[in-house]
Chains A and B, each alone.
Chain A
Amino acid sequence: MPNDTDITLTHVTKSYPLGKSRIPIFQDLTMTIPEGDFLAIMGPSGSGKSTILNLIGGIDTVDEGQVAVGHTVLTGMSDAALTQWRAAHIGFVFQFYNLMPMLSAAENVELPLLLTPLSARARQERVRTILDIVGLSERAGHLPSELSGGQQQRVGIARAVAADPKILLCDEPTGDLDRTSADEILDLLQLLNRKLGKTIVMVTHDDSSCRVAKRTLHLDKGKFIQREEELMVCR
């Protein structure tokens, strides 16, 4: 029996159209990400890393095969059902933060809470707590344009965990940051995994990410390969 947030991709085939033909991304990909895992997926551009996140997050669909999270099979769900499911179970962290530029840090963090039955007071309390956890309680009223890249990504992470999802999908979360900020973000993600039990799937080009991840998989041309040198580095 799978746990509530075990992620399973079973015999997944995915391709994208290019003109009249289709570019294959995966052929018969099968993988499991157990609850509480912190998986880093690395690989060259176009290897299909982000596609895995999109499939797990229900923002893209498979050509064949099945994607399931716990007992919920995402394949075949309607858009409305997937949207509701995402709101309750998934937090996204984007490479370019994707904060709403006209909303303050606190308002950005509150955004997913508007999809919950929480009262305004409870939402504000939750926002305060989360901003405190990511170390930005002093910058709650600031607009994204008034924050550094690292701070914006912290707000992005705060927004991702605001509604308390079990799974965080991070797409190159350190890709737009300097080393110091990147390390801070990786530490924060590790904290969320270790202390709060979030299952994290992170797509990254950042070699040092395996420092915080429990597992690192290398994806190339739609297939996972285990590279010994990487494992050595991480060890």
Chain B
Amino acid sequence: MPGFFKQCSALSMTNLRSLHRRKLISLSMVLSVTLVVVVLLGFLSMANGFRKTLAATGAADVVLVTSQGSFSETTSRLTTEQLHLLQEAPGIARDAKGRPMVSPELLVPVDARRQSDGQAAPLSLRGVGAEALELRPALAISEGRMFTPGTGEIIVGARLAARYQSMQIGDSITFGQSKWTVVGHFTAGGSVFDSEMLADIGQVRALFNRQGQVQSLRVRLGNPADFAAFQTYVEGLDMGLKAATEKDYYSAQSQDLSRIILFIGWPLAVVMAIGAAVGAMTTMYSSVSDRLVEIATQRSIGFSRSAAFVSTLIEALALTVMGCAIGVLIAWLGLDGWSASTRSGASTQLSFELALSVPIIVNAALLALCVGLIGGGLPAFRATRVPLRSAMTGRST
């Protein structure tokens, strides 16, 4: 067996050293693998980034109550009677003054202009109650201050402030008929709230003519274990309401869109990989043809068929690994951390960052490996069938 490895290594070395004779076609194989890897990593990091953003959103002890049958907060409606009854639910945490820690909320889609091209893009303006910050422990004012309830003040996610016009502290921004003053920027730990603007719910209802409207109620529980009792109470009201912890709510939302991204991404990458494998096969057939006399000579000298097979496969895999490495590097430098946005459940922009991870890179590398194995396998088999008489009749190049 050591002899076999010596044979493989010697033949692989001669193959790889002769790559310069086939540089253009070898380069095309490397680039096609690079393309497959970049596309797959693009989709996977998008799905991963989106999932991470939504996974970072929400706590196990914060419950979101919406109306039954609503797909998202925007399609939900809660009545005043329901809000009163919900505040009596068991397990709700209370502040120092004994008030239940709840925040009735209303999400309004508004248009803001992008700094990059001046085009309008839909964003989420969330009207919240006084306890909103208590219910979002990850949310921190990074610049300026919290809005004053009952005024036309607004605070903006720092991620939005960097990308949209009129969102610096002190700026006035107009949404439809309403005019707001930006008094603070906040960060929210990479969660969906990073893509929102927060203002007093009373002002939002007044300025957007949505008197009395509440879409959801956020509730802080004294203990996550109290959720079961809270849920039983909500369902027991029999008023068409449903309760889910924030974590579960956003996790369910992330799964849907991640699935859509992956549903597009994987088939596209696989189709491209098939194309790359065909290209790789052409490259490797050309390599075998180029080395015909060399292979026949090596086999005449006494090198085995299996060594000829393995060394050809190693050449294919070496080119694949090169393409994969370049692809990962491009993705790492160009995609990782790149800001993207998509429509959230509220039909507004949700910003997130593309996130590479080791499992994603392993997935892309495995796909690239398949390209190399499929593309190199048949030509490697061809290398084992080179007629040895070719050594007698041909010149090595």
Contacts and interface: CB of A to CB of B under 8 A. Distances in A.
Partners in one complex: yes
Interface stretch (B217-225, B239-247, B300-308): B300-308
A100 B396 CA distance: 7
Tell which of B10, B392, B395, B396 has the most Cβ of chain A within 10 Å.
B392
A79 B305 contact: yes
A111 B294 contact: no
Interface stretch (A65-73, A86-94, A214-222): A86-94
Contact of B299 (A50, A83, A114): A83
Interface stretch (A34-42, A53-61, A127-135, A185-193): A53-61
Nearest to A144: B396
Interface in B1-52: 3, 6-7, 10, 14, 17-18
B396 A99 contact: yes
Contacts of A94: 297, 391-392
Given A83-B304, A87-B302, A112-B301, A101 B397 contact: yes
A89 to B, nearest CB: 9
A208 interface: no
A171 interface: yes
A95 B395 CA distance: 9
Contacts, number: 84
A98 B388 contact: no
Given A101-B397, A111-B10, A86 B302 contact: yes
B172 interface: no
Nearest to A53: B392
Interface string A100-132: 111100000001101101000000000000000
A114 B10 contact: yes
Q: Is the interface of B mostly helix, strand, loop or mixed?
A: helix
B334 interface: no
B245 to A, nearest CB: 64
Tell which of B17, B300, B396, B397 has the most Cβ of chain A within 10 Å.
B300
B74 interface: no
Interface string A174-189: 0000000000000000
Contacts of B294: 98, 100
Contact of B18 (A96, A102, A111, A163): A102
A110 B396 CA distance: 18
A54 B184 CA distance: 87
Contacts of A21: none
Contacts of B303: 83, 87, 115
B94 interface: no
A96 B296 CA distance: 13
Given A60-B388, A92-B391, 14 more contacts: A59-B299, A59-B391, A83-B299, A86-B300, A87-B303, A88-B302, A98-B294, A98-B395, A101-B397, A102-B14, A111-B301, A112-B301, A114-B6, A115-B3
Interface of A: 50, 53-54, 57, 59-60, 79-80, 83-84, 86-88, 92, 94-103, 111-112, 114-115, 117, 159, 163, 171
Interface of B: 3, 6-7, 10, 14, 17-18, 293-294, 297-305, 388-389, 391-397
* A-B pairs, 5 with minimum CB distance: A87-B302, A59-B388, A102-B17, A98-B297, A96-B395
